Structure 1
């Protein structure tokens, strides 16, 4: 239990930091992209600690998979509540750009902020493990230099897994985007938890380039290009397919609707057409 108490304190500290940044930025809307920095930092820093509980706590602390899945769900739910529209997910930022809801410069700033936040989250988690507050963290600190990669299959299988999971997530998320936050946020947290648990033996289904960068890119076993193929190109491909299926086209790339017939809003009565011909 002491390990979980220490982890709880760590989670609370990270959440307070992210919430403080979000609160301060309300006064300066021009710097709203920093919200993505805080969101990505919170997501990576907390998920790294969840990984620690999964990797070490299950065999050293006697914590079952039900505990780790519950902790991940609570982290994702808290992230959704605290960060709101700042997803901390590069794929979702690119989605808004492709939907013509964001311009080029804000998109680039948001993506850059997310990767900086992910890197800071990794540094903070590594420093926290180095304090060795519990036996679990002492073991994790020893394992940190030789961490285990989340990519447990071939590159093609990994790409396909991330692509399919991203397609599923974004397609459902697009259908939930107009729902009230009280419904949307818990459902998204459940969906992310389920996909992550289901793909645990494949890629862990991060579906987020900046999250994957913070969680597994520093682990040996694959090159940067190989990681990028699976964790960057895979989610982006799945996201674009989801947008194509949802809207029938990708507004930023082409306007023609490939799947759905666009009906005109107003219909001209037949009588009016006949009168025009007589005139």
Structure 2
């Protein structure tokens, strides 16, 4: 249990950092890109530790799959509660840009901050593993240079997996946007946990370009361009399809609704024709 206690302490420290940044900058909406940095940092830093428990803890620390799935769900639930609307997900930021909800410069700042948060989280996690506080972390430190890739299938299968999972995720998230956070946050956490567990033998369904960058892009087995094809292009393709299916069009690109016919809400008075006949 010492390994699990060390991991819990690490999780608490990362969560406190993200919550502190949000509290300090909550009154300055123009600095929302820094909140995206904290959101991405928290998600990647904690998910790296969950990944460590999955890879090492199950046989070195005696932690079963039920523990890892529970920890992943708690991580995603905590992330949704702490970070709120700050997703730490570039595909969500780009979707909001395509919906005309956010302009170009804030979107670019948000995406850059999310990748910077993922990059910093990776280095913080590597430093944490180098401390070798437990046997699990000692083994992980030895394995850090030769990590296992999350992409366990061909590029075509990986692209299709990420695309379908992103399509499902964004469709459900779009439908839940107007719901209360008490419903939205747990449902999204359950959905992401389910997709990650279901696709663990394929791509792990990160559905988040910055998260995938922090978790698997540095692992051998595929080139940077091949990872980008699966985890970036696949995720963005699924997001675009979800937006098209949900709205019928992509507002940033074209205004005409391609899928659904919109009926006019206002009709002329019915008595007009009768009055004309009497005339």
Give 2:72's aligned residue.
72
Aligned equivalent of 2:223:
223
Closer/same/farther in 2, CA of residues 58 and 255 from structure 1, 3 Å limit: same
Tell me how many residue pairs correspond in the alignment: 279
Residue matched to 1:152:
152
Deviations 1:42-94 (A, max 9, x none): 00000000000000011111211111000000000000000000000111111
Whole-angstrom distance in 2 between the partners of 1:278 and 1:228: 71
Alignment partners' CA distance in 2, 1:125 and 1:160: 30
| Structure 2 CA distance for aligned equivalents of residues 167 and 48 of structure 1 | 24
Mapped partners of 2:180, 2:221: distance in 1: 42
> Matched residues in 2 for 1:271 and 1:239: separation?
47
1:274 CA drift (Å) = 5.5
> For residue 57 of structure 1, what is the aligned residue in structure 2?
57
**Counterpart of 2:199?**
199
Aligned to 2:116: 116
Compute the TM-score of the two structures, normalised by the length of structure 1. Answer: 0.98
Which residue of 1 is the match for residue 208 of structure 2? 208
- Matched with 2:270 is 270
Q: Offset at 1:275?
A: 4.4
Name 2:95's counterpart in structure 1. 95
CA distance in 2, matches of 1:44, 1:133: 20
Aligned residue for 1:54, secondary structure, equals helix
Per-residue deviation at 1:258? 1.4
Cα RMSD over matched residues? 1.2
Alignment partner, residue 243 of structure 1: 243
What does residue range 252-263 of structure 1 map to in structure 2 within 5 Å?
A: 252-263=252-263
Q: CA deviation at 1:169?
A: 0.5
Change (3 A) 1:277 1:240: farther
Q: Secondary structure at the match of 2:142?
A: helix
Q: What are the ranges of 5 or more consecutive residues in structure 1 without an aligned counterpart?
A: none
Distance in 2 between residues matched to 1:253 and 1:145, nearest whole Å = 43
Aligned counterpart, 1:187 = 187
CA deviation after TM superposition for structure 1 residue 278, in Å: 8.3
How many angstroms apart in 2 are the aligned matches of 1:147 and 1:277? 83
- CA pair 267-64 structure 1, distance change in 2 beyond 3 A: same
For the structure 1 residues 250 and 60, does the alpha-carbon distance in structure 2 shift closer, same or farther, using more than 3 Å as the test? Answer: same
CA offset digits 1:11-33 (Å, max 9, x no partner): 00000000001111123222111
Q: Quick one: distance in 2 between partners of 1:30 and 1:238? A: 29
Quote the Cα distance in structure 2 between the aligned partners of 1:168 and 1:254. 23
Give distance in 2, aligned partners of 1:228 and 1:272. Answer: 61
TM-score normalised by structure 2 residue count:
0.98
Change (3 A) 1:256 1:273: farther
Question: Which residue does 1:21 correspond to in 2?
Answer: 21
Aligned to 1:162: 162
Q: CA deviation at 1:118?
A: 0.3
In the alignment, the residues of structure 1 paired with residue 123 and residue 129 of structure 2 have an alpha-carbon distance, to the nearest angstrom, of 10
Deviates more, 1:193-202 or 1:61-70: 61-70
